[in-house]
Structure 1
Amino acid sequence: MKESIDFLSTDRILKAVIDTYGIPSIPKREQGFAALCHIILEQQVSIASAKATYKKLENELGQLTPKVVLETPDEVFRACGVSRQKTTYIKDLAQRVTSGSLDFESFKTKSPEEITTELLAVKGVGNWSVEVYLMFCMQHEDVLPIGDIAIRSAIKELYDIHDPEEMRILGENWKPYRSMASFILWYHYLSKRKRKDHL
């Protein structure tokens, strides 16, 4: 971590964020099916809301496995606060794992590009979901999720950059530690708003 912080501290704006709020903790999630289900639930809602929904599912179904998901009626998901659309996504994911077309275990020996290609084939899984999985679950060091609202907002506030392509160009300066830069940006966004959400 020290190496990435030293490198990113050459960016005076990121250094100012670190000086103001401290070094962000790096969250680590389990890899696999349940983790991606959680990320799907996080799409376009707050962290707290997604956590609450995931907790309801766990309380209702126990451990989230492909078998359990496929055997559970859609109405149960709806009762737990999962939208019809996200229920479809989670069941498609479960079907792919069950059929063997998606093997999370194999990700340990695959490149981020290969993992991205496989996950994007899952219904409802886009770039943001893949990037979050790579960062939080697989701990890849060089990911910048430009599609994330908080990341975009932080870059707008700190750098006065509004165009997504220009944001990507800015991110080139943070290679090979764009994930840590993202965590710093998230930390700025949440801390400035005094949000208690934990990544």
Structure 2
Amino acid sequence: MSTSRLGNGAMMGVPVYWQDAKDELMKRDRIMRKLIPQFGDMHLVGRGEAFTTLTRSVVGQQISVKAADAVWERFLEVCPKCTPAQVLKAGAEKLAACGLSKRKAEYVIDLAEHFKAKRVHADKWTEMDDEEVISELIQIRGIGRWTAEMFLIFNLLRPNILPLDDLGLLKGISINYFSGEPVSRSDAREVAANWEPWRTVATWYLWRSLDSAPIID
């Protein structure tokens, strides 16, 4: 099985590949050799059930973490189990009353419709390649490639994701590899070529170096 198909297997909460990834990254990359030991036994932690994770991602788009938390709490009062059926029963008006914009309410309903109609194959995602999962997710309104990649990292615990649209990743590469000089996506790809097949793990340590890991619950 290729690393792009490794699902969310973990032992005692630690992704099964984490130690191997750390060892290989420290052997290959002088920056990782200095960075990884600074964070001891810390590791990527998987977050939540698929529909809940994606719904919260949409709710939190383009607003502060504090605001997103407040909207999410109100959302859970209306949809306490956060199931597609509850979302569809609530409808756009009740979702908007939770603090969601009209557009976000439409996005959450579209997400629920995709799950209920099984237009996405959530039960098969652990067996699908990274790009296959991304291709399904970006068909849903309000979910772009970045959100799909965060889902692969935090929900499916995929080991080899490189989220080139993530500002934290680019800033981490800039500070740690280019003395703070701005970096392009091409620069990031070149640095990350040395991380294969553990780009998720390297990305996570760069986030930690900035203390700016995305909030995906």
Same fold (TM over 0.5): yes
Residues 6 and 104 (structure 1), Cα distance of their counterparts in 2 relative to 1, 3 Å cut: same
Say if 1:49 and 1:182 are closer, same or farther in 2 by CA, change over 3 A: farther
* Partner residue of 1:90 out of 108, 118, 143: 108
Aligned equivalent of 2:89, options 66, 71, 74:
71
Q: Deviations over 1:20-75 (max 9, x none)?
A: 34353211123421121122233334455434432331133211111111122334
Deviation, 1:145, is: 1.1
Distance 1:102 1:25 in 2: 29
Does the 8 Å CA contact 1:41/1:53 hold for their aligned counterparts? yes
Identity %: 27
Q: Are 1:9 and 2:26 an aligned pair?
A: yes
2:43 to 25, 29, 32: 25
Superposition map of 1:102-141 within 5 A: 102-141=120-159
| Counterparts in 2 of 1:177 and 1:46: CA distance versus 1, 3 Å | farther
2:216, 2:112 → 1: CA distance? 27
Distance in 2, Cα, partners of 1:49 & 1:142: 31
Contact 2:47 2:216 in 1 (8 A): no
The CA RMSD over aligned residues, in Å, is: 2.3
> What is the CA–CA distance in structure 2 between the aligned matches of 1:25 and 1:73, rounded to whole Å?
38
TM-score, normalised to structure 1, is 0.86
Indicate yes or no: 2:68 matched with 1:50: yes
> Is 1:181 the counterpart of 2:202 in the alignment?
yes
Confirm or deny: 8 A CA contact 2:78 2:90 kept in the other structure: no
1:170 to 191, 199, 206: 191
State the AA in 1 paired with 2:132: E
The answer on whether the counterparts of 1:28 and 1:139 sit within 8 Å (CA) in structure 2 is: yes
Larger displacement relative to structure 2 (132-141 or 151-160): 151-160
CA distance in 1, matches of 2:207, 2:21: 16
Q: Distance in 1 between matches of 2:41 and 2:196?
A: 18
2: distance between equivalents of 1:156 and 1:33? 34
Divergent runs of 4+, >6 A: none
**Comparing 175-184 and 56-65, the one that deviates more:** 56-65
Cα distance 1:198–1:76, how it changes in 2: closer, same or farther (>3 A)? Answer: closer
State how far apart, in whole Å, the 1-side matches of 2:121 and 2:72 are.
22
Give the deviation of 1:6 after TM superposition: 1.0
TM-score, length-normalised on structure 2? 0.79
Per mean C-alpha deviation after superposition, the further-off stretch among 10-19 and 151-160 is 10-19
Q: State the partner residue of 2:161.
A: 143
Q: Is the 8 A contact 1:128 1:147 kept in 2?
A: yes
Q: Number of residue pairs matched? A: 195
